[in-house]
Amino acid sequence: MSALDVQGIEAGYGARSILHGVDLTVGDRGSLTVVGPNGSGKSTLMKVVVGLIRPSRGRIRLLGEDVTGLGAPARARRGVGYVPQEANVFRNMSVRENLKLGFEFIPSRQPSGFAGRLEAMLDLFPELADRLGTLAGHLSGGQRQMVAMAAALMPAPALLALDEPSAGLSPRNAGLLFAAIARIVESGVAVFMIEQNTRLGLGAVEDGLVLVAGQVRARAPAQALLADPEMRRLYLGAEATP
Amino acid sequence: MIQLVFNGLVTGLLIALPALALALTFSVLRFANYAIGAMLTVGAYAAFGFNTLAGWPLPLATLGGMAAGALVAVGVNELVYERLRGCSGVTLLVASIGVALALENVVRFIAGNSPRGYAVALARPLRLFGLRINFEQITTLFAVVAVLAGIWVLFRFTRIGRAMRAVADNPDLAAVRGIGRRGVVTVVWALSGALAALAGVLIGLDATLDPQMGWTYTLPVFTAAILGGLASPMAAVAGALVLGVAEELATTVLAPQYRNIVAFLVMAVILLVRPSGLFGARWLTR
Ligand SMILES: Nc1ncnc2c1ncn2[C@@H]1O[C@H](COP(=O)(O)OP(=O)(O)O)[C@@H](O)[C@H]1O
Ligand SMILES: [Mg+2]
């Protein structure tokens, strides 16, 4: 049974349609990165998956269950953890409160309580340990990204959806973050990611998908996509050069 | 002078509860609820009903009034604001003006136009450190401070309090963290209605009840909330205290009937020089 199964999604904003029949699958314990030019509809696709935008057509299945008719909170309770591209923390709350909020409204998939999950997150992001009392809005971009990811991981989601985790980070911070993402993928959480930095994004996962103008242009194992010179030239830009 | 500051603080405390209620609904729903004054009137009259008609002692009648205020606020939300969901803040503001008129006239229809008072024994004012403190002021002081402390604890340390702050801070993120908007909005209205009702009772104790009592307070309540920064509920309390003292001190140079002008001037100046409010700068938006 796949973690995420998306079929024939059409969606947009008002009368403007952005996605034109998108299909994709993330297997159980699988991982998929969506790449593609700016404005091709990647973030829109992710918002459809997490339930923030209703598609006008198509089906979304989570762990085999049809969740198309459910809103974002209900999908979160069924195991979707989401880190948005922007505004991904509660700025007027402390780091600890952000993590608490990530945990307390969703039934955890692991028996360890709040303290246990908090410990696991500080293990994954040691930098947060002495910032628990800091207002999230006062953190640097890299630290915010860690808080956002930790908050999404607190209830041990079945599927982690990441929208451009490396955006705005220094190369060093992006590298550190992707080391954490690699550990998450390894731990068996299904990961559905969007990433501009194709080398990092495709490097961390099994499968890759190229979205152009709201349509799937290519789908292949991530390594194959990275190695394909045609793909690199057309869609992956200079960043793909190792 | 000290007497004036004290009186001003008590006046400020009376304004603080509805100002907090106004800022709370604004922070979560992003519209200014003009019916806050009418909600105060409804609560005051509901408590009056429990007090004089049902014969409950005033503290119990006040709780009854707060419950009724909460119910009315939640009911109005279901009937009016939920149906206008997705409309602009201006549309909702206009709707709330309609709600204010409707609520006030329901009160007028049921209770009549003549002023009323609660059934309470008159007590002699206290003298303390040269201050003249009357019974209503003591009641206001204790009731409001206790309720504010309770609200602070609720916001800081409870699950539902965090949920309210989360929705106010970032509604989409709150949704994907599993927080249903509907439940939070209901709690926000209930709290807002209860706070307005308590303020209504305290104001009714201080003066009299009449169907227009809420209108008199609408301007100062808005001013206090804007002074504090509409988006941060606790700052509205600070705004209310500042305004209360400013109004009271102004009576030394202005005739008392011009009190409302102070609120108006303060509001105009704040909107011109610092629309985010005196204390609103701490609210982070980026
Ligand atoms: N809230 C919105 N309202 C209207 N149009 C939007 C909105 N968000 C994005 N768009 C438009 O949808 C298109 C796809 O955007 P997006 O999904 O963010 O692309 P990507 O993430 O691939 O860069 C863009 O043309 C963008 O301008
Ligand atoms: Mg995007």
CATH code of A8's domain? 3.40.50.300
Q: How many residues does chain B have?
A: 286
Mean of the pLDDT values across residues A49-64?
A: 96
Q: What band does A240 get if pLDDT is binned at 50, 70 and 90?
A: very low
B160-185 per-position pLDDT tens digit: 999 999 999 999 999 999 999 999 99
- Number of A–B residue contacts, CB under 8 Å: 76
Q: Compute the distance from residue A212 Cα to the ligand 1 centre, in Å.
A: 13
- Determine if the pTM surpasses 0.80: yes
For chain B, what is the largest distance between any 2 Cα atoms, rounded to a whole number of angstroms? 57
Question: Is the minimum distance from the CB of A43 to ligand 1 under 6 angstroms?
Answer: yes
Q: How confident is the model at residue A241 (pLDDT cuts 50, 70, 90)?
A: very low
Burial class (CB in 10 A: 0-12, 13-18, 19+), B189: buried
Of the two residues B61 and B123, the one the predictor is more confident about is B61
Interface test with B, best of A86, A98, A105 (most B CBs within 10 A): A105
Backbone angles phi, psi at A33, to 5 degrees: -115, 130
pLDDT of residue B276: 67
Q: Are strands A190-194 and A31-35 parallel, antiparallel or unpaired?
A: parallel
Q: Is B173 on the interface with A (CB under 8 A)?
A: yes
Q: Within 13 Å of residue A60, how many CA atoms lie on the same side as its CB?
A: 26
> Using N-to-C axis directions, what is the helix angle for B36-48 and B181-206, rounded to 10°?
60
- Dist CA A218 CA B47 (whole Å): 68
The minimum CA-CA distance between B165 and chain A, rounded to whole Å, is 8
In 10 A of CB A139, how many CB atoms? Answer: 20
Rounded mean pLDDT, B253-270: 77
Cβ distance of A84 and B172 shorter than 8 Å: yes
Element (H, E) at A81: strand A80-83
Asked if B176 and A72 come within 8 Å (Cβ–Cβ), the reply is: yes
- Are the Cβ atoms of B176 and A82 closer than 8 angstroms? yes
Show the tokens assigned to A21.
């029949």
**B236 or A55, higher pLDDT:** A55
What Rg do the C-alpha atoms of chain A give, in angstroms? Answer: 17
| Structure tokens that stand for B152 in this block | 């602070």
Structural domain boundaries of chain B?
2-112+135-273
CB distance A106–B283 less than 8 Å?
no
Chain A residues inside the 8 Å CB shell of B181? 73
Searching chain B, which residue's CA lies closest to the CA of residue A77? B178
Decide if B158 touches A, using CB distance below 8 A.
Answer: no
Work out which ligand 1 atom sits closest to the CA atom of A46. 17
Distance of residue B225 Cα from the nearest chain A Cα, in angstroms: 19
pLDDT of residue A1: 83
Q: How many angstroms separate the first and last alpha carbons of chain A?
A: 34
Q: Is B92 helix (H, G, I), strand (E, B) or coil?
A: helix
Tell me which of A70, A101, A154, A192 to substitute to probe the interface with B (most B C-beta atoms closer than 10 Å): A101
The average confidence (pLDDT) of chain B is: 89
The number of domains in chain A is: 1
Structure tokens, B125:
């004012």
Task: Please list every residue in chain B whose beta carbon sits closer than 8 Å to the beta carbon of residue A150.
Answer: none
Query: Taking CB atoms and an 8 Å limit, are B177 and A89 in contact across chains?
Result: no
Do the Cβ atoms of B218 and B32 come closer than 8 Å? Answer: no
The Cα B160–Cα B139 span in angstroms is 28
- 3-state SS class at B171: helix
Q: What is the mean pLDDT of residues A206-210?
A: 95
Protein residue with least CA distance to atom 2, ligand 1: A13
Amino acid at residue number A168? G
Span of A74-83, A117-126, A221-230, B143-152 with lowest mean pLDDT: A221-230
Tokens of B218: 């609408």
Distance A34 CA to ligand 2 centre (A): 11
Task: Give me the domain span that covers residue A176.
Answer: 4-240
Average pLDDT, chain A: 92
* pLDDT at res. B174: 97
Percentage of chain B exceeding pLDDT 90: 58
Instruction: Give dist(CA B32, CA A171) in Å, integer.
Output: 44
Cα torsion angle, B261, B263, B264, B268, sign: positive
Is B2-112+135-273 a domain of CATH 1.10.4160? no
Give the one of B159, B170, B178 whose C-beta lies nearest to A87's C-beta. B170
* Partner-chain contact B178 A73, CB within 8 Å: yes
Summarised one tens digit per residue, pLDDT across range A99-150 is: 999 999 999 888 889 999 999 999 999 999 999 999 999 999 999 999 999 9
Q: Per-residue DSSP letters for B72-137?
A: HHHHHIIIIIGGGTTS-HHHHHHHHHHHHHHHHHHHHHHH-SS-B-------PPEEETTEEE-HHH
pLDDT in tens, B197-253: 999 999 999 888 999 999 889 989 999 998 887 777 788 888 899 888 988 888 888
| A78/A65 Cα distance (integer angstroms) | 9
Which among B148, B168, B154, B150 is positioned nearest to B26, based on CA atoms?
B168
Whether A40 is in the pocket of ligand 1, judged by its Cβ within 6 Å, is yes
Q: What is the pLDDT of residue B256?
A: 72
Residue A238, pLDDT above cutoff 60: no
Q: Residue B163, class by beta-carbon neighbours within 10 Å (0-12 exposed, 13-18 middle, 19+ buried)?
A: buried
- What torsion do the CA atoms of B128, B133, B137, B143 make, to the nearest 10 degrees? 20
Rounded average pLDDT over B3-17: 92
Which is it for strands A16-26 and A159-163: parallel, antiparallel or unpaired? unpaired
The answer to whether the CB of A84 is under 6 A from ligand 1 is no
- A47 ligand 1 Cβ < 6 A: no
Q: Which helix (H) or strand (E) holds A202?
A: helix A198-203
% of residues, chain A, pLDDT over 90: 86
* B165/A93 touch (CB, cutoff 8 Å), yes or no: yes
Grade residue B284 by pLDDT with cuts at 50, 70 and 90.
Answer: low
Q: Is the Cβ–Cβ distance between B25 and B43 less than 8 Å?
A: no
pLDDT value of residue B69? 98
